[in-house]
Amino acid sequence: MPREFVIQPNCSLTTDSKNSFLWIIGLIMLAITLLLASRGLWLVAPFMGVDLLLLIYAFNRVGQQCRITERVIVDRHSLTVLHEEKRHPRSWSFPVHWVRVDLRQDPHPWYQSSLLIGTHGNWIRLADFLDNEERASLAKAIREAIMEARQPEWLNLEPKCR
């Protein structure tokens, strides 16, 4: 009966394709650096090296953001949110009969909405990497799961035929 929602960012670049791309860019930058250094512009080399290091850092940073997973588990007694990151795993649990799901739209249409889950002043922000439509769909699905979990057990029993 527990329902689980797994939320992950869309990562279109795999580790192998990222490494291949960085090798190609590095080789192109090396060729340009060698060409310019052979013409007496050797001062370009350190700047090309710094550019390549910044590019590698940026790709690794984006890769870290792609490995974030958020899980929302709704059962009869609680709603549990697990935020799984490499270095900072966190979890929250709320009683299912008191929890609220709040989708806050910004007055300006170009800003992202916020999906908040919580109760009694303890709110967490969820699914920041989704767009507004996906976030609204997720909020609706979580609300439906909460309403289903709040139903008394005797309502969910199927009649036995003899």
pTM, two decimals, is 0.72
* CATH code, domain with 109: 2.30.29
Same-domain status, 22 and 40: yes
Enclosing domain of residue 141 = 3-8+70-151
Same-domain status, 53 and 85: no
Residue 139 lies in a domain: yes
Same-domain status, 50 and 90: no
Q: How many domains does the chain have?
A: 2
Same-domain status, 38 and 83: no
DSSP per position, the chain: --EEEEE-------HHHHHHHHHHHHHHHHHHHHHHHHTT-TTHHHHHHHHHHHHHHHHHHHHHHHT-EEEEEE-SSEEEEEEE-SS--EEEEEETTT-EEEEEPPSSTTSPPEEEEEETTEEEEE-TTS-HHHHHHHHHHHHHHHHHHHS-GGGSPPPPP-
**Residue 162: per-residue pLDDT:** 57
> pLDDT tens, position by position, for the chain (162 residues)?
689 999 998 888 888 999 999 999 999 999 999 999 999 999 999 999 999 999 999 999 888 888 889 999 999 999 999 998 888 889 999 999 999 999 988 777 778 889 999 998 899 999 888 888 899 999 999 999 999 988 877 666 666 665
Same-domain status, 53 and 124: no
